[in-house]
Chains A and B, each alone.
Chain A
Amino acid sequence: MMKKVVKNAEEAIQGIERGMTLMLGGFGLCGIPEKCIEALSKKPEITNLTCISNNAGVDDFGLGFLLKNHQIKKMISSYVGENAEFERQMLSGELEVELTPQGTLAEKCRAGGAGIPAFFTPAGYGTEIAEGKETREYNGKMYILEESLVSDYSIVKAWKGDTKGNLVFKATARNFNPAMAMAGTITIAEVERLVEPGELDPNEIHTPGIFVHRIFEGKDYEKRIEQRTIS
Chain B
Amino acid sequence: MLKKEDIAKRIAEELKDGWYVNLGIGIPTLVANYIPEGIDVTLQSENGLLGMGPFPTEENIDADLINAGKQTITTMPGSVFFDSSDSFAMIRAGKVQLTVLGAMEVDQNGDIANWKIPGKMVKGMGGAMDLVASAENIIVAMMHTNKARESKILKKCSLPLTGVNCVTKVVTNLAVLEVKGGAFHLLERAPGVSVDEIKNATEGELIISGEIPEMKL
Q: Which residues of A contact B (CB under 8 A)?
A: 27-31, 54, 77-81, 90, 97, 99, 101-107, 109-110, 121-129, 159, 169-179, 206, 223-231
Contact = CB atoms under 8 A, between A and B. Distances in A.
A174 B125 contact: no
7 contacts: A30-B64, A101-B125, A103-B127, A126-B163, A226-B70, A227-B70, A229-B56
A109 B83 CA distance: 12
B104 to A, nearest CB: 14
B129 A123 contact: yes
Nearest to A127: B161
Given A102-B125, A227-B72, A172 B81 contact: yes
A127 B45 contact: no
B85 A107 contact: yes
Specify the main secondary structure of chain B where it touches its partner: loop
Contact of A28 (B66, B163, B165): B66
Pick the most buried of B82, B83, B126, B134: most chain A CB atoms within 10 A of its CB: B83
Interface in B102-126: 111, 122-126
B172 interface: no
Contacts of B55: 229-231
Contacts of B47: 27-28, 30, 172, 175
A173 B64 contact: yes
B61 interface: yes
Nearest to B79: A171
Contact of A225 (B61, B87, B161): B61
B16 interface: no
Contacts of B126: 78-79, 101-102
B83 A176 contact: yes
B133 interface: yes
B64 A170 contact: yes
Contacts of B133: 121-125
B182 interface: no
A172 B45 contact: yes
A125 B164 contact: yes
Nearest to A129: B129
B84 A106 contact: yes
A86 B161 CA distance: 23
B178 interface: no
B24 interface: no
A54 B84 contact: yes
Nearest to B82: A174
Shortest 9 CB-CB contacts between residues of A and residues of B: A103-B88, A103-B130, A126-B164, A81-B123, A223-B63, A106-B84, A101-B129, A122-B133, A110-B85
Contact of B130 (A79, A104, A229, A231): A104
B37 interface: no
Given A99-B122, A171-B64, A122 B134 contact: yes
